Amino acid sequence: MFKSFRKIGLMLPLVFAMGACQELEQEVLDGVTAEDIANSKNPNLINVLKASAYSRIVGSWGGHNSIWSIHEVSSDEMAIPQKGADWEDGGMWLRMHRHTWQPSDEAFNNSWNYCFSAIGEINNLLIQYPDVAALNAELKVLRALIYLWLIDSFGNVPIIEETSTGGNPTNNSRAEVFAFIEKSIKDNADLLPKEDTKTTLNYYSAHAILAKLYLNAQVYIGTPKWAEAEAAADVIINSGKYSLTNNFFANFAERNNGSTENILTLPYDQNNAQGFNLPQMTLHYSSQATYNLQEQPWNGYASLEEFYNKFSDADVRKNSFLVGPQFAADGRRLNDISAEPNDPDGQPLTFTPNINMLAPNAFRQAGVRVGKFEFANGAGSSLNNDYPLFRLGEIILTKAEAAFRQGKTAVALTAFNQIRRRAGVPELTTLTLDNLYDERGFEMFAEASRRTDAIRFGKWNLPWWEKQASQPFRALFPIPQQAINANPNLRQNPGY
């Protein structure tokens, strides 16, 4: 499993990657040549080689101030309220919530560098080992996954391959990036394993990438591809390799590597693969005593009241939130001695759905917190939980939506109600687009899906709490100003 691999350095020439690549820790495979790898029957050699590429995407995905953050805080799922000077951060997270962000905001540059650093590492490996078919296929599909994040977030981005020469590339169009992702997967998926590999790509996770690409095709290229999205989802659903877990939260537990539902995960480890900092990001300072955490949380991310209230009390997924009175691990009622005098809950620590204001003086206890992932007793600042990038629950909802948009209502309802049954809520006999949108919110909360869904369903520009109607151009994030400063050939997205 990927967690057991150490980082390696292959002494490769660095492929141009927007200035984002950093030098890897170096552990040279002495005496092993490209020919040895190509002729070897030992799959462990390939596993070690690709580990450096996978380590890049584990990276900062689950941490604060990068790609997960910009998707979640810009959506109607959550916000980071400003509590006096705490979480002021130059106003960046207030702008993110209100859709008034700027190209110079740091989180965009962090997200951009996260993606292009991984692409650079992949291209390095492709240069060094051009004749290792299985390795090349997997790396090209992995690169396509990263470009899926880029096309969704930034739209018009440079396509940088192992054959790209140095210099300052310009943007490719969103249509060109779409075609590149599609071709990369179609050309290489059949060379991937059909075993349940979880932490590395396989044939089925390649089709999960395709399903998500096609589901959003109308947004990306102006042409819907609902039938293609359904067909890609069916490859996974009909494979028999995956099944919905009876316990929804087993997919997000500290030891979730045995989940029958998770298709591709980022294998975080508090010692060897750090970066999943959710308890720090969302919990109150005093919550350290609830879980005996090794470090004090930061009291940041909280869910919006309107979003939380959409959940039925019967829906088991409502337990994705931490709400109400909070206690220490030994049962003591927690107190926040610094609670604001006008907080109606007083000092006893209570997570209330209502957030009194976004800024500048949000109550320290305001807002339900993100509790979807298990916070293990004694956890460090980084979790051991593997983060699911794709799981069967999402794929089933993809099939339901794609079928419904083709007029196949019966097929859509059958898939849709699978998810409802597992959640413990009544099945529906009729279906609307609003039903599909809401269900994706219930199912996919805190999985970096809501922004993409809101854009696809035409909800993104609507006003919500502490946010006015958005300008249409904000369906794309800006190309980071730092990247344009480094490469003047880059063109900024319209509106910025």
d(CA 29, CA 476): 42
The angle formed by the CA atoms of residues 81, 84 and 86, to the nearest 5 degrees, is 70
Backbone angles phi, psi at 302, to 5 degrees: -140, 150
Average pLDDT, integer, range 292-313: 98
232 DSSP 8-state letter? H
Average pLDDT, integer, range 330-342: 97
Residue 4 predicted with pLDDT over 80: no
> Three-state SS for 220?
helix
The 3-class secondary structure across 327-338, one letter per residue, is ECCCCCECECCC
Q: Treating both helix axes as pointing N-terminal to C-terminal, what angle do 106-128 and 43-58 enclose, rounded to 10 degrees?
A: 170
Q: What is the pLDDT of residue 433?
A: 98
d(CA 266, CA 273): 9
Cis link prior to 360 (omega < 30° from 0)?
Answer: yes
Is the C-alpha dihedral spanning 49, 200, 445, 432 positive or negative?
positive
Is the C-alpha dihedral spanning 346, 348, 353, 357 positive or negative?
positive
d(CA 185, CA 210): 7
Q: What DSSP assignment string belongs to 160-209?
A: --TT--SS---PPPHHHHHHHHHHHHHHHGGGS--S--SSS--HHHHHHH
Q: What is the pLDDT of residue 87?
A: 98
d(CA 261, CA 243): 5
Question: What confidence tens digit (pLDDT) does each residue in 378-431 have?
Answer: 999 999 999 999 999 999 999 999 999 999 999 999 999 999 999 999 999 999
282 pLDDT band, cuts 50/70/90, is very high
167 pLDDT band, cuts 50/70/90, is confident
Q: What is the pLDDT of residue 384?
A: 96
Could you tell me if 26 and 11 are in contact, meaning their C-beta atoms sit under 8 angstroms apart?
yes
Domains (ranges, CATH) in the chain?
2-191 (1.25.40.390)
Question: What confidence tens digit (pLDDT) does each residue in 441-469 have?
Answer: 999 999 999 999 999 999 999 999 999 99
Q: What is the pLDDT of residue 21?
A: 35
pTM for the model stands at: 0.93
Residue 23 predicted with pLDDT over 60: no
Residue 15 predicted with pLDDT over 70: no
User: And the tokens for 221?
Assistant: 């290229």
Could you tell me if 422 and 297 are in contact, meaning their C-beta atoms sit under 8 angstroms apart?
no
